[in-house]
Amino acid sequence: MRPGLARRIAARRPLWLALLATSLALVCAAPASAAMSLVPPKPDVLLGVSDRGSTEGFNAFAELTGKHPALMQTFFGWGNTPNKAYERWRETQTRPVVAISTQNAQTLEEIITPQQIALGYGDDYLLQLNQFFATHNLPAYIRPLGEPNRCLNAWAGVECDGTLKDGEHSSYWYKEAFRRIAAITRGGLTTEALNAELAEIGLPGLQRSKGANPVSLPVAPVSIIWSPLPAGSPRVKGNFPGNYWPGSKWVDWVGTDFYAKYPVWEDLNRFYNAAQWRNKPIAITEWAMSEKDEPKFVNQLINWVVTHKRVQMLTYYQGFGYGNTYELSHYPQTASTLATKIRRATFLPYAEYNAGLLPPLQPKEKTP
């Protein structure tokens, strides 16, 4: 990391420590079952970048843009524990965005269906997430099953030929799965109250597979992001964002992905102005270059963010592996333009309370 950038990061540490008690008190004082938006004051925007599995990838992005990202978005296959990612969140002093997929990252095999999630077959994992973020008192954004209207995703409600899915992958079961994920990961209810809430939307109660259900779930300081594509892939009737809307009760942020390869501004504007979520903060949960150096796109995107006041999160997707076309270092003019555009103070390099304020995980004792 560049020395000047490192000094600026170090200089902020006393401020974090000063804010720690206040931030911790606010998180702990949140009423049971209340959703936590974790939204910065307007017009501030939380900068973010995707996790590439190492702090080196994060530091390289910070060096390239001249600004430390406040958020790190980590992609979890269903069942993945946060332990390893927690150490990266700590070391990079970021607040996590946890993007949950139902596919194996290597094989793309589907691990669990939307219907199975809705009916409780994945409750062990949701309880684990609730317990983790509550125990560590770590504010986080949970982004379950993003891009449900992208046909290549296992949880999508549409085939790539435009045929709408029915059965366990229908948009109905997607919405029910999303609601269950939100209810359990947020916590803050007795199990009896949680079961009553699930029953109201036609779902079975908590389904812990081993042992008795807990008496209650702790409040986890998490904020739920719902994030379809701005229109749909493919663009067919029944595959637009509103077809997957789970309802305001279950959503804290509304997000979407917007790549330079598909700059359909009309769709983005329509998405922003949709009546169903007009009172929700907006996140650009993924954006990236993918084929050519386009500083014009970055100018347009940052100007759009600045002039649309509900947009308060902006996360770059860095991609993975060999042949990765999203890495910002491939596009020097774009990187330079981005660095200039995000210099303004409203693009936040830190979330007040983040994993950098927390201790490392204690190693598990080995059983003899």
Q: Which residues contact 87 (CB under 8 A, 6 or more apart)?
A: 360, 361
pLDDT band at residue 171 using 50, 70 and 90 as cut-offs:
very high
Mean pLDDT of 236-247: 98
Query: CA 157 to CA 102: how far, in whole Å?
Result: 14
State pLDDT tens for residues 100-120: 999 998 899 999 999 999 999
Question: Does residue 257 contact residue 285 with C-beta atoms inside 8 Å?
Answer: yes
Q: Which residues contact 324 (CB under 8 A, 6 or more apart)?
A: 318
Question: What is the DSSP code string of 158-215?
Answer: B-TTSPBP-GGGSHHHHHHHHHHHHHHHH--SBHHHHHHHHHHTT------SSSPPPS
pLDDT band at residue 323 using 50, 70 and 90 as cut-offs:
confident
Query: CA 200 to CA 198: how far, in whole Å?
Result: 5
CA 15 to chain centre: 26
Extract the tokens encoding 345: 């103070």
State pLDDT tens for residues 270-322: 999 999 999 999 999 999 998 899 999 999 999 999 999 999 999 999 998 77
pLDDT attached to residue 366:
67
**Measured distance between the N- and C-terminal CA atoms of the chain, rounded to whole angstroms:** 42
Query: CA 217 to CA 133: how far, in whole Å?
Result: 12
Q: Which carries the bigger pLDDT value, residue 243 or residue 18? A: 243
Q: Is the pLDDT of residue 174 over 90?
A: yes
Q: Which carries the bigger pLDDT value, residue 7 or residue 226? A: 226
> Using the 8-state DSSP alphabet, how is residue 288 labeled?
-
When the pLDDT of each residue in the chain is averaged and rounded to a whole number, the result is 91
State pLDDT tens for residues 7-45: 444 444 444 334 434 444 444 444 444 467 899 999 999
The domains of the chain, with CATH numbers, are 42-341 (3.20.20.80)
